[in-house]
Amino acid sequence: MQYNQRTIVKPVSCSGVGVHSGKEVTLTIKPAPANHGIKFVRIDLPAFPEIPALFNMVVDTSLATVIGNEGVIVSTIEHLMACLAGFSIENALIELDNYEMPILDGSSAVYAKMIKEAGIQELPEPRYFFIVKKPIELKENDKSVIAYPSSQRQITCTIDFPHPLIQTQTLSVILTDEVFEREISKARTFGFLNEIEYLKRYGLARGASLETGVAIDETKILNKEGLRFTDEFVRHKILDCIGDFSLLGMPILGHIVTNKSGHAFNHAFLKTFFEQKDAWDTRSIESFSDIDYSSSKSLAI
C-alpha cells in the first residue's frame, strides 16, 4: 500500500489519434506538487483552459468518459486515468493539443511505459483514502456496483456478453503497481465489427482499427495476433473501472464488485457513493494490516 502522495519525475509525451474523432493529438504528462490532483489542460485553445479530473466534471459517458468545463472538453480519459491510479499517482498535469486523448493500442500499456520511463516520485505529504465503512450499492436490473469494507484496494468485475468468445467472465484483483502493470495495463478495448461499422457510418469511431483495440465478428477475433490474455475482455473492463472510479479524486480503500457495469453506470455509482457520507470516512493512514482508525488523520469534506 502506498501511503504518501506521488507524481512523476519528469515530463513525458506521446502522439496518436482519438478513437472516435480520428484526430491527431499530442499529449504530455508533467509532474505536479502535492494536493494538485490530476488536471487536463487544452494547450490548443486560448488561455489554456484547465479541467480537473473529477466525477462532477463528467459531461458524457455514452461512448467514453468525457470531462468538461465551460464548453471545453477532454474525451476518452479513462485509460490514462486508470494508469495513473494503477501506479498510485494522484498529482499530474496533462497537456494535450486536441479534445480527445490518443487511443494508442487501446490499452494503458503505452502510458505505463511512459510513466516508468519518467520515474515515479514520492512526495512528503500523506495520501488520503475513502475508507468504506459499510456497503454502498447501486443496482438497476442486472447491473450493479457495490463497495464493501476492506483493508485492501480490490476490484472484482463480472461481464456477460452473448458472444461465444466472451460469454461470462469474472476476475478479481488486489490493486498494486505490480498487479496493474502485469495483469491489467495491457488489456485492450474491444468492439464488435457490426457495431464499429455502424458507428463509422455516423461519423464516429473514425480512429478505430485493428491497431487500436480488439475487433470481433460473429465467430472470431479479427486481430492476427489474437488476444493478450484468454480473459482480456474482463481485464479491460477492470481497467475502465479503475479509471472511472479514480474520478472521486482519492483512492477507495474497499472491495468494489461490479456486474455488467460500464462508464455510465460507473459514473452513476460515484454520485451514489459520494452522497452516502455516513458509509465512508476520509483518512490518511501511516500503516496498517487492517483498517485502523486510531492511526489515521481525518480530512474534512
Q: Choose the final residue of a domain: 125, 140, 160.
A: 125
* Residue in 145, 141, 139, 92 with CA at minimum distance from that of residue 115: 92
The CATH number for 197's domain is 3.30.1700.10
Assess whether 138 and 286 both reside in one domain: yes
Q: Is 189 helix (H, G, I), strand (E, B) or coil?
A: coil
- Under DSSP, is residue 6 helix (H, G, I), strand (E, B) or coil? strand
pLDDT of residue 193: 85
Total structural domains within the chain: 2
Among 77, 82, 106, smallest CA distance to 94 is for 77
Specify whether 120 is located in the same domain as 9.
yes
Q: What is the pLDDT of residue 197?
A: 80
| 97 and 74 fall within a common domain | yes
Looking at 79, 236, 255, 263, which residue is catalytic? 263
pLDDT above 70 covers a percentage of the chain that reads 95
Within a 10 A sphere around the Cβ of 183, how many other Cβ atoms? 18
Distance CA 226, CA 198 (A): 23
Please tell me whether residues 109 and 149 are part of one structural domain.
no
CA distance 231 to 187: 9
Query: From CA 240, how far away is CA 217, in angstroms rounded?
Result: 22
For residues 29 and 94, is the Cβ–Cβ distance under 8 A? Answer: yes
Shared domain for 121 and 133, answered yes or no, is no
Length of the chain: 301
Cα gap 62→71, rounded to integer Å: 18
Q: What pLDDT does residue 295 have? A: 40
H helices present in 43-93, as ranges: 78-86
- Confidence (pLDDT) at 206: 79
Q: How far apart are CA 124 and CA 298, in angstroms?
A: 17
All 3 cell numbers of residue 181?
A: 502493470
Residues 133 and 121 in one domain: no
pLDDT interval class at 87 (50, 70, 90): very high
Same domain, 20 and 95: yes
Using one digit for the tens of pLDDT, what is the confidence trace for 94-134?
999 999 999 999 999 999 999 999 999 999 999 999 999 99
Set of cell numbers at residue 65: 468518459
The pLDDT of residue 290 is 44
Please tell me the distance from the alpha carbon of residue 132 to that of residue 281, in angstroms, as a whole number.
7
Q: With beta carbons less than 8 A apart as the criterion, state whether 274 and 132 touch.
A: no
In single-letter form, the type of residue at position 45 comes to L
Please tell me the distance from the alpha carbon of residue 22 to that of residue 29, in angstroms, as a whole number: 21
Clarify whether residues 55 and 181 are in a common domain: no
- Among left, alpha and beta (phi > 0; psi -120 to 50; other), residue 136 is beta
Average pLDDT, the chain: 92
For 141-200, write each residue's pLDDT tens digit. 999 999 999 999 999 999 999 999 999 999 999 999 999 999 999 999 998 888 878 777
Structure confidence at residue 287 (pLDDT): 54
Residues 51, 178, single domain; the answer is no
**Domain span including residue 103:** 4-125
Per-residue pLDDT averaged across 262-276, rounded? 96
- Are 169 and 105 within one domain? no
What CATH number has the domain bearing residue 64? 3.30.230.20
267 is catalytic: no
Side-chain half-sphere CA neighbours of 79 within 13 A: 26
Among residues 110, 125, 140, which one ends one of the domains? 125
Q: Are 87 and 2 in contact (CB under 8 A)?
A: no
